[in-house]
Amino acid sequence: MEVRRGDGSVFRGVLMPKHETSHPDTVVIKLGNGYNIGVLVGEGDDIVVKGSLRPGTPGALVPLLEEPLQPAEERVYIIGAGGTIASRVDYETGAVKPYLDASELATTIPELQRYASIEAEQLFSILSEDMKPSMWEAIVDRAARVLEAGYDGVVVAHGTDTMAFTASALSFAFHKGLPSPVILTGSQRSSDRPSSDAAFNLTASVLAASRAPFAEVAVVMHGETGDTYALAHRGVRVKKMHSSRRDAFQSVNDKPLARIYPFEGRVEMLRDDYRRRGESGLEVDNGFEERVALVKHFPGLISEVIDALLDRGFKGIVVEGTGFGHVSSDAIKSIERARDQGVPIVITTQTVFGRVNLNVYSTGRKMLAAGAIPAGDMTSEAAYAKLSWILARTRELEVVRKMFQRNLAGEVSERHILRLYRHIGGV
Amino acid sequence: MEVRRGDGSVFRGVLMPKHETSHPDTVVIKLGNGYNIGVLVGEGDDIVVKGSLRPGTPGALVPLLEEPLQPAEERVYIIGAGGTIASRVDYETGAVKPYLDASELATTIPELQRYASIEAEQLFSILSEDMKPSMWEAIVDRAARVLEAGYDGVVVAHGTDTMAFTASALSFAFHKGLPSPVILTGSQRSSDRPSSDAAFNLTASVLAASRAPFAEVAVVMHGETGDTYALAHRGVRVKKMHSSRRDAFQSVNDKPLARIYPFEGRVEMLRDDYRRRGESGLEVDNGFEERVALVKHFPGLISEVIDALLDRGFKGIVVEGTGFGHVSSDAIKSIERARDQGVPIVITTQTVFGRVNLNVYSTGRKMLAAGAIPAGDMTSEAAYAKLSWILARTRELEVVRKMFQRNLAGEVSERHILRLYRHIGGV
């Protein structure tokens, strides 16, 4: 829309919902630069309406289009899997609930058509914290059928909270063969809020799905606080590192795949070692075991936690140990008990960065002797999804160990690159 | 020692152990700048030995002293509580074991006397992962007696893996009154390794204990990869963020207290809001409940984990939720069950940075209604220690809730400072 004021000034952008407390004669407009302004509209001013103007429209990325877009030739399919990107505020309770469906999302962001013609469907409508391994399977199935139908790429709109788990799960299910990108994206603010990052992330994701040279499972989210670029993180390497910032997602112990510039339509690769688009056919290996737990060491009774999970019949346990991956000495008997019951215990580290090494200290050596499986520099999210994927294929402990220690989807490196770590805290 | 070579060059530093594969006629010397070099010693060269030269001596910080130091007037007491800083390699098994005691540590680093006359004792000799709440109590008791005896500060040599938990615990035990600094420090490499950070961290810690203007519980560890400064992190705000790097410790959601320059003898405060030295008398409130668990949400059966811990009689549970702190909807009945049994459930976030907010989404509101206690922007380590400390005082659920939500030692902020976060992942 445009506001043409009597003094000759013109404000152009997308109409946004406004706070109940604002002046009744103002309109809130999201400008092309991403900022929202409130414009007081007087008697001598004109409001010119163009295009879709429903309140709740996610913020547009580019100044309002004068001409209808010529849709790009590429075809991208958006699978809605819930989360904030498809949520809006419930004005009765004030809380955010799942609401928009994927096709509504797509039609309210006409800029997506710059990079692909879009089809969309809502697979399910849940909040991120309710994601389960059985839903990973449903997403894999749907994405596989889409890729079989010849689409250039898939975008999964997903809650951000558990996105790293789902991205890892999809990476393992597709690691044997994937011809095109499968991009997970979401937003940190719901689509009907002026500050929503939904449009930016979705546009960057459609661009990556339609044109990026990599054929991998990746998470595409804001790469910095501004609206310059998104980062494409390898699905098995990504972690949500902040509860609310737009640039919450980071690659852990590894470099991201690419920078994605949604305004410029440009994909800048940051590494060479990726699976190329069209390099392999589609080979899906779907299926996840749900009875896997993820717990962490603490200075107390971690042995009792492991014992309790064994009592309840969990089939695999990932333990975030301390530092190099240690648990207390009195928990070694619980690791032995797990081995005797045929339950694999995988060890990651709660430091987030760095790697598990059970060969340095005496405790680690005892843990190895008791049967613990070290996860190297894998994230806890990737280790959890990997163990769940393996346990749906075999429960033979030695086979689990061998499969776990094989690098399937880039989730682990032999050598740790120390410089991929910087101080984030305060100074 | 010095090597004076026939060509007139002089290498001066501390003799270090060398690799078995190195040339038999080389000696490895740690220079004053912290670097190690190998010097080939030929027939025309002299080796001049001065001072302590046992292999295994932690690297000296300053060029070898020509004159014995005049010990400073301040008095600092070092309490040995195990960990890598007091470890060395067991040459039979190749693993690292606790070994050195605190007084041995102190005498092998004569530079400590620049900042204080040192007394030291070994309270216990364990690896970091074996730290328990009962040992927190023993450290608090010993530190309190030392402060009563009029020492200018206390240094606790501790394993790095669980240091953030212990630092938080000490912060709560001393939050009512502390006249002098209590500094926790450790090392990421054992003291007999050429690359050990033990001497640097211990010297910075003694400097902070004897002369820093703050009277708080703090962790003092390398602030960057070089040997320029250490950072003093508030005990309730620190987290080990890397398994092996020297600069692994970071302040989370808050600024560190100070930079400590051990070569220059300088303490640079980074904030104003700290308890001043001598501002308060000593008031100790010691005692921790051991039956507290720390677990995390994962996309599966977190409700079963909570149920299992309730079955086993845990008296409090900290759950690292996703993003703003959510757990899956089906776990809300487990939170209700905990409330009905009088067991507090505290919620932190597994994103590490940012804060819990259970008012934004419908799931969060249901969690609050079920009795969950949000931990704001507290670390999981601080939340765990705080709940353990509170449960040793009361098990009255509403009293626990009120005590938990009070800021006792700077562990929580009302407003989140978004800029205290940076992207570290590889780009």
Catalytic residue among A57, A84, A162, A348: A84
Quick check: B151 pLDDT over 50?
yes
B61: pLDDT confidence band, cut at 50, 70 and 90? very low
The two structure tokens encoding residue B371:
């009795």
1-60 of B, contacting A, C-beta below 8 A: none
> Is residue B6 a contact partner of residue B44, using CB atoms and an 8 Å limit?
yes
pLDDT tens profile A346-359: 999 999 999 999 99
Where does the pLDDT of residue B265 fall: very low under 50, low under 70, confident under 90, or very high at 90 and above?
very high
pLDDT digits (tens, 9 = 90+) for A270-319: 999 999 999 999 999 999 999 999 999 999 899 999 999 999 999 999 99
Reduced to 3 states (helix: H, G, I; strand: E, B; else coil), residue A171 is: helix
Q: Which residues from chain A sit within 8 angstroms of residue B297, using beta carbons?
A: 129
pLDDT at residue B235 above 50? yes
Give per-residue pLDDT as tens, A235-277. Answer: 999 999 999 999 999 999 999 999 999 999 999 999 999 999 9
Helix (H, G, I), strand (E, B) or coil at A318: strand
Residue B245 at interface with chain A, using a CB cutoff of 8 Å:
yes
So what's the pLDDT on residue B56?
36
- For chain A, what percent of residues have pLDDT higher than 70? 76
Do residues A339 and A371 lie in contact, with contact meaning Cβ atoms separated by under 8 Å? yes
Structure ipTM: 0.84
What amino acid is encoded at A329 in this protein? S
Tokens standing for residue B220 = 């003092």
The CA-atom distances, in angstroms, between A229 and each of A200, A210, A309, A397 are 9, 17, 43, 44
Higher per-residue confidence, B424 vs B407: B407
pLDDT band for position B347 (cuts 50, 70, 90):
very high
Please state, in angstroms and rounded to a whole number, the distance separating the CA atoms of residues B276 and B297. Answer: 39
Q: How confident is the model at residue B63 (pLDDT cuts 50, 70, 90)?
A: very low
Q: Which residues contact A94 (CB under 8 A, 6 or more apart)?
A: none
Annotation says B45 is catalytic: no
Confidence of residue B65 (pLDDT cuts 50, 70, 90): very low
Q: Enumerate residues 6+ apart whose C-beta is below 8 A from A104.
A: none
- pLDDT tens, A22-47? 455 666 665 554 445 556 666 666 66
Whether the CA torsion B327, B328, B329, B330 is positive or negative: it is negative
Catalytic, B240? Answer: yes
- Which of A17-31, A39-53, A193-207, B393-407 tops mean pLDDT? B393-407
Task: Tell me how far apart the alpha carbons of residues B273 and B256 are, in angstroms, rounded to a whole number.
Answer: 11
Q: CB of A344 within 8 A of CB of A373?
A: yes
Task: Assess B415–A contact: CB distance below 8 Å, yes or no.
Answer: no
Residue from the list A97, A127, A349 with its beta carbon closest to the beta carbon of B243 = A349
| Contact residues, chain A, for B322 at CB < 8 Å | 128-129, 161-162, 240
Which residues does B28 contact at the CB level (< 8 Å), separation at least 6? B15, B16, B17, B18, B22, B36, B37, B38, B39, B194
Interchain contact, B301 vs A322, CB within 8 Å: no
pLDDT: is A107 or B19 the higher one?
A107
Q: What are phi and psi of B276, to 5 degrees?
A: -80, 150
Contact A351 B242 (CB under 8 A): yes
Alpha carbon of residue B418 to chain centroid: 24
pLDDT of the residue at B25: 63
Helix (H), strand (E) at residue A182:
strand A182-185
pLDDT at B85: 72
Q: Say if the Cβ atoms of B300 and A244 lie within 8 Å.
A: no
d(CA B208, CA B202): 10
Kindly report the average pLDDT of chain B as a whole number: 85
More confident residue, A127 or A259: A259
List, in order, residues 6 or more apart from A292 with CB less than 8 Å away.
A314, A315, A316, A317, A318, A384, A387, A388, A391, B298, B300
Contacts of A303 (CB under 8 A, 6+ apart): A327, A328, A330, A331, A333, A334
What was the pLDDT predicted at B106? 72
Encode pLDDT of A74-115 as tens digits: 999 999 998 777 666 555 555 555 556 667 777 778 889 999
Given the residues B30, B108, B162, B240, the one annotated as active site: B240
Question: Which fold would CATH assign to domain A292-405?
Answer: Rossmann fold (3.40.50)
With 0-12 CB in 10 A as exposed, 13-18 as middle and 19+ as buried, what is B237? buried
| Chain B residue with minimum CA distance to A299 | B132
Q: In whole angstroms, what is the distance from residue B422 CA to residue A142 CA?
A: 36
Chain B residue with CA closest to A324: the answer is B243
Query: How many percent of chain B have pLDDT more than 70?
Result: 76
The reply to whether A68 touches chain B by the CB within 8 Å rule is no
Please say whether the beta carbons of B424 and A424 come within 8 A.
Answer: yes
- With contacts defined as CB-CB under 8 Å, which chain A residues touch B132? 299-300, 328
pLDDT digit string, tens, across residues A164-186:
999 999 999 999 999 999 999 99
Chain B contact set for A379 (CB, 8 A): none
User: B75-269 with B292-404: one CATH topology?
Assistant: yes
pLDDT at A57 over 50: no
8 Å CB contact between A295 and A309: yes
Whether B423 and A304 lie within 8 Å, measured CB to CB: no
More confident residue, A82 or B314: B314
Spell out which residues of chain B touch residue A421, defining contact as CB-CB under 8 Å.
241-242, 245, 424
* B273 vs B107 pLDDT, higher one: B273
Is B162 among the residues known to form the active site?
no
CA distances from A108 to A100, A123, A316 (A): 10, 19, 43
Count of CB pairs separated by less than 8 Å, A with B = 300
- From residue A197, how far is each of A32, A122, A183, A248, B350 by CA, in Å? 14, 20, 16, 12, 22
Q: What pLDDT, on a 0 to 100 scale, did the predictor assign at position A359?
A: 92
Q: What is the pLDDT of residue B109?
A: 84
Q: Which residues of A touch B321 (CB under 8 A)?
A: 129
Report the C-alpha gap between A238 and A248 in whole angstroms: 10
Residues of chain B with Cβ-Cβ distance to A425 below 8 Å are 239, 241, 250-254, 256, 420-421
Residue A403 in contact with partner chain B when CB distance is under 8 A: no
User: Could you read off the pLDDT of B351-364 as tens digits, one per residue?
Assistant: 999 999 999 888 99
Would you say residue B52 has pLDDT above 50? no
For the segment A362-367, the average pLDDT, to the nearest whole number, is 94
B253 pLDDT exceeds 70?
Answer: yes
pLDDT of residue B53: 33
CB B219 within 8 A of CB B167: yes
Question: What pLDDT does B366 receive?
Answer: 96
Known active-site residue A240: yes
Specify the higher pLDDT residue, B27 or A149.
A149
| Nearest-neighbour CA in chain B from A25: distance (Å) | 29
pLDDT at A68 over 60: no
Tens of pLDDT, residues B161-181: 999 999 999 999 999 999 999
pLDDT for residue B414: 82
**Secondary structure in 3-state letters for chain B:** CEEECCCCCEEEEEEECCCCCCCCCEEEEEECCCCEEEEECCCCCEEECCCCCCCCCCCCCCCCCCCCCCCCCCEEEEEECCCHHHEEECCCCCCEEECCCHHHHHHHCHHHHHCCEEEEEECCCCCHHHCCHHHHHHHHHHHHHHHHCCCCEEEEECCCCCHHHHHHHHHHHCCCECCCCEEEECCCCCCCCCCCCHHHHHHHHHHHHHHCCECCEEEEEECCCCCCCEEEEECCCEEECECCCCCCEEECCCCCCEEEECCCCEEEECCCCCCECCCCCCECCCCCCCCEEEEECCCCCHHHHHHHHHHCCCCEEEEEEECCCECCHHHHHHHHHHHHCCCCEEEEECCCECCCCCCCEHHHHHHHHCCCEECCCCCHHHHHHHHHHHHCCCCCHHHHHHHHCCCCCCCCCCCCCCCCCCCCCCC
Q: Model confidence at B416, in pLDDT bands (50, 70, 90)?
A: low
Q: Is the pLDDT of residue B16 over 60?
A: no
Chain CA centroid to CA A85, Å:
11
pLDDT above 80 for A342: yes
* The pLDDT value given to residue A221: 97
The answer, for A251 touching chain B at a CB cutoff of 8 Å, is: yes
Domain B292-404 top-level CATH class: alpha beta
Instruction: Break chain B into its structural domains and give their ranges.
Output: 2-48, 75-269, 292-404
* CATH architecture under which domain B75-269 falls: 3-Layer(aba) Sandwich (3.40)
Q: Is the pLDDT of residue A363 over 50?
A: yes
pLDDT: which is higher, A196 or B217? B217
pLDDT at A21 > cutoff 70: no
pLDDT of residue A336: 98
pLDDT-derived band at B421, boundaries 50, 70, 90: confident
Report pLDDT for B12.
66
- Between A151-155, A198-202, B91-95, B252-256, the lowest mean confidence (pLDDT) is in B91-95
